[in-house]
Structure 1
């Protein structure tokens, strides 16, 4: 057969396939809430700024409303914006919207074998186990508080050694925060100079930066293509894999010294559970789920709190009058002779309000990890079919003008009443909401309070240049809002 004829036939087949696929996409689109018209293959990707995807989605909602459909490639996604809409889905219809949607930057490695990216009975069993085990090891109790207080003393020592000289706080804070979740998982902390520990912190920090960049966004949209293209995204899987041999060595040591009657940490309890269920064919407790759940808990327990703290220091250098008021409250309630304790928070309404406002303003996770609709349902008058991927835009909640008087300004008054008492606002979803709320929420809240108050009890942070030059705009807005790299000086009090 003539080559030209073969080429024409191939082109005809390809065009016919594209037309058929696009026709199916448009037909399905007609059954979903309205949204911008998608193009073949690329969908609405060209209408979204992958460098700041959350802001792009909020901007599109101005035209199409708080519930709309957006295509990443040929796949439709239900986008939810605004407090009332997100609340309706994640809280009022928690069961229907509690599935976990695809998230390739983690899925490619974890493959649904953990507490965050699994579904069905596996997710329920692993989450229930994680919550119960973390409670038993002191999350919300005094023992974990003592561990954080102990870690704070190591952190204070490192910062004092900067001798008022400029330093970049990311790695210093990251190591301290990571050590807290390590103590829960592994039973002990690491020395800051430990090479293994440095590899853990470095790989996690590097991955969050990559996953929060445009490269991470593109990988989530086109994983099948991006796997074969060169670029920084290729390091994501390699960084994930750094942790496996470390975990395997730690688990092996635990197996050799395990006493089921006296568990030391999360690993011991999991290994005991594995042994009890070894003859249960429906068990979800096996070595791979242990490794992957440790992976997720370490990621979740490290960089979100680290980012919140280093962003908070930057913001408080921009607004030193706020830091001064916190320090005044610290002097009145805690003084200088003892470390801050969780009980102090009840007596420190201004500090409590500032921390809530920091979390709102920073908006550390502007997009919730995708959800999945588990059964046909309705939201805001639209019928939503089962298996629809859902993107709750948490940034639209934190900057909702119907919930906050000055959403674009850093203003602790958002969480204070007329008498200066702390005022709760449900439109703060820093840890998401509903059944998929972060299982480490209690631990993270405790860490943020204890770390931040201890830092301000001991130091006043000053920028290297003018505070007017401090830029609070994040560098990434995919997975995390990450602040620009900066240096500061810690002046002892």
Structure 2
């Protein structure tokens, strides 16, 4: 449209005024001071673009919100590449099937019927409460057996080990008097890694994105730090974590705040003195990790999302002893190091390129942080908008 009439109106109404363009109420900025303050002074708050009808037609509707579940794909593919020695195309039916089955199993494991089965196994077996989970697990095993067979055919007898599956196959080709590397055991090992190695990291990344949409000021500060440390083009690397204390603090606070795995079941393997109590061998022990991550004696504002929990007065990252999302001791999560690296690279890379916003018509405050019912405390099904950031790229 011709801007001349708008410029003339500014002489009457000042550098900032409102007009109706069709049915859309629009704010108009004129003059150096008003335009500079809006485009530069607001940083990310004015980085979006309004829908323009003709461009939406040209681009066949333009962008649309993406479901949070999409963020499961990248971390899961990293795990699969390590396990199977190959990265899957995101449209690959095997990849889609595995993700779908893992999702189904996690939802089923969180159902009251399975909890009842765990408490009363005989009654649960009589009522067949375990059958839905076992059916899904058997479908996963069938896929894993097919991948195992395909990997056996392509792996030279003494070739280099390029994946976890390769390593298990190589071990099975040598002397195995105790039968530790039978097909059933290999499949069982890979099944454990698939279940434990995809859900936790994928769910944490979804939470991180959701919380950035919910807390735009925190997101802006992360992006300012990324811009200073990395510039507009260089991709983040693992060693950059030391130059990004606020980003690191935000990721730690995400993991603390969501308490993804609320407890760590253990069992005494011998008579154990625990403080003033003697626990006989075989005693089940339930360590509530969420009670540590939300402990009022350890965290200033445990019920609030606050990256300051991991920063000192000078803005340096501080490691807190009560940060135990990966558990602790002999059974600490074996994939902790990998999970930390994955989360950092994916989170930093995502925010370096995109501003995460609620869908049109929804405020940041309206985004729901109530966990969905499942084995892990995953976020409920929601969508976000990813708006490309303008940094000269």
User: Normalization by structure 1: what TM-score?
Assistant: 0.64
Hey, what does 1:268 align to over in structure 2?
166
Shift of 1:230: 6.4
Q: Look up the match of 1:374.
A: 269
Question: Unmatched 5+ residue regions in structure 2?
Answer: 1-59
Q: Which residue of 2 aligns with 1:344?
A: 240
Aligned mate of 1:165, from 60, 64, 69: 64
Q: Retained in 1: the 8 A contact 2:72–2:202?
A: yes
- After TM superposition, give the deviation of residue 218 of structure 1 in Å: 2.2
CA distance in 2 between partners of 1:164 and 1:226 (Å): 48
Distance 1:162 1:181 in 2: 34
Structure 1: gaps spanning 5 or more residues:
1-160
Q: 1:482 is paired with a residue of what secondary structure?
A: coil
Counterpart Cα distance in 1 of 2:194 and 2:169: 18
Tell me how far 1:162 sits from its aligned partner: 9.8
Distance 2:341 2:146 in 1: 30
Aligned to 2:296: 401
Question: Which whole-Å CA distance do the structure 2 matches of 1:225 and 1:404 have between them?
Answer: 42
Is 1:484 the equivalent of 2:377? no
Distance 1:319 1:443, change over 3 A: same
Write out per-residue CA displacement over residues 61-82 of structure 1, whole angstroms, 9 at most, x where no aligned residue.
xxxxxxxxxxxxxxxxxxxxxx
Corresponding residue number in structure 2 for 1:315:
211
1:245-296 CA deviation, whole Å, 9 max, x = no partner?
2111221122222222422211111111112232xx3353322221011011
Q: CA deviation at 1:474?
A: 1.3
Deviates more, 1:461-470 or 1:206-215: 206-215
CA apart distance, 1:343: 0.9
- Aligned equivalents of 1:175, 1:365: Cα separation in 2: 20
Would you say 1:235 and 2:147 are equivalent positions? no
Q: What secondary structure is seen at the aligned counterpart in 1 of 2:325?
A: coil
Q: Distance in 1 between matches of 2:126 and 2:119?
A: 14
Question: For the residues of structure 1 that align with 2:282 and 2:128, how far apart are their CA atoms?
Answer: 32
Task: Select the residue among 251, 254, 258 that pairs with 2:155.
Answer: 258
1:446 aligns with 2:345: no
Is the 8 Å Cα contact of residues 462 and 490 (structure 1) preserved in structure 2? Answer: yes
Matches of 1:456 and 1:224 in 2, distance apart? 50
C-alpha contact 1:372 1:389 (8 A) present in aligned 2:
yes
> Partner of 1:183 in structure 2?
81
* Bigger Cα Rg: 2
Task: Supply the distance in 2 between the matched residues of 1:234 and 1:324 (Cα, whole angstroms).
Answer: 47
Q: Tell me the SS of whatever aligns to 1:383.
A: strand
Secondary structure class of the residue paired with 2:260: coil
Aligned equivalents of 1:455, 1:439: Cα separation in 2: 26
In structure 2, what is the equivalent of residue 331 of structure 1? 227
Question: Structure 1 residue 472 and structure 2 residue 358: aligned?
Answer: no
Normalization by structure 2: what TM-score?
A: 0.80
